[in-house]
């Protein structure tokens, strides 16, 4: 099983938590690693959300606030942004779910994703033949299976490494 599939499975576990309605794993540039979002959201919407969130978090970091978690509380939903070192987890939950409960429920999954991303960074990138992009399709609840491939896991790992170097 690839890191990508493992992360996708972990997101499936997170969405299985009572009160959680969707989750996106993005890299530090807002690129989608995997996502499990409600059927109503188009892939373009999910990508736009991830990019916006990541831009925000990176700018907040620039301010020197060192924010680990940001939670947007809307009337009908809560959007929780969690730092996973090489990217972010964007979790949508019902507003009445307690934040400490959400943290406890998701922390183990968050750590597993961090480990996977850290491991994939060390995986040597395989040469890719032109035009044979195997791609990492955005994982979804099924309705968004025709999404555009983002990158191979090795590409993704390489990009993470670059971002890490840039922000160090």
Partner 1 sequence: MNWMDSLFHELQTIPEVAGLAAADDTGTYIAGMNIDDTDEFAALLTFIGRSGLALEEHLGLDPLVYTSLSGKKIKLIVHRILDYFVGIRLSEKSSISKVEGRINSIVGNLDIEDE
List residues near partner 1 by CB under 8 A.
41, 45, 48-49, 52-53, 55-56, 59-60, 63-77, 79, 98-100
Kind and range of the H or E run holding 34: strand 32-36
In DSSP notation, 83-147 reads E-SSEEEEEEE-TTS-HHHHHHHHHHHHHHHHHHHHHHHHSPPPP--TT-----PPP-SSTTTTP
Closest distance of CB 63 from partner 1, Å = 5
Closest distance of CB 67 from partner 1, Å = 4
Question: Which of residues 53 and 117 has its CB atom nearest to partner 1 in the complex?
Answer: 53
Closest distance of CB 95 from partner 1, Å = 9
Question: Which of residues 45 and 143 has its CB atom nearest to partner 1 in the complex?
Answer: 45
Nearest to residue 109, comparing CAs of 87, 84, 139? 84
């Amino acid at each position: 099983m690839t890191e990508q599939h493992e992360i996708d499975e972990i997101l499936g576990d997170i969405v299985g938590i009572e009160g959680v309605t969707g989750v996106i794993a993005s890299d530090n540039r807002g690129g989608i690693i995997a996502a499990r979002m409600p059927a109503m959201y188009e892939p373009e919407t999910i990508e736009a959300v991830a990019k916006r969130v990541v831009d925000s978090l990176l700018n907040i970091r620039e301010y020197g606030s060192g924010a680990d978690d940001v939670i947007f509380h809307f009337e009908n939903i809560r959007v929780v942004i969690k730092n996973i070192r090489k990217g972010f987890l964007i979790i949508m939950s019902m507003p009445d779910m307690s934040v400490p409960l959400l943290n406890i429920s998701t922390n183990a999954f968050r750590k597993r994703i961090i480990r996977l991303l850290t491991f994939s960074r060390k995986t040597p990138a395989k040469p890719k033949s032109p035009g044979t992009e195997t791609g990492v399709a955005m994982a979804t609840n099924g309705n968004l299976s025709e999404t555009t491939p983002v990158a191979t896991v090795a590409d993704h790992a390489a990009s993470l490494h670059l971002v890490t170097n840039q922000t160090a």
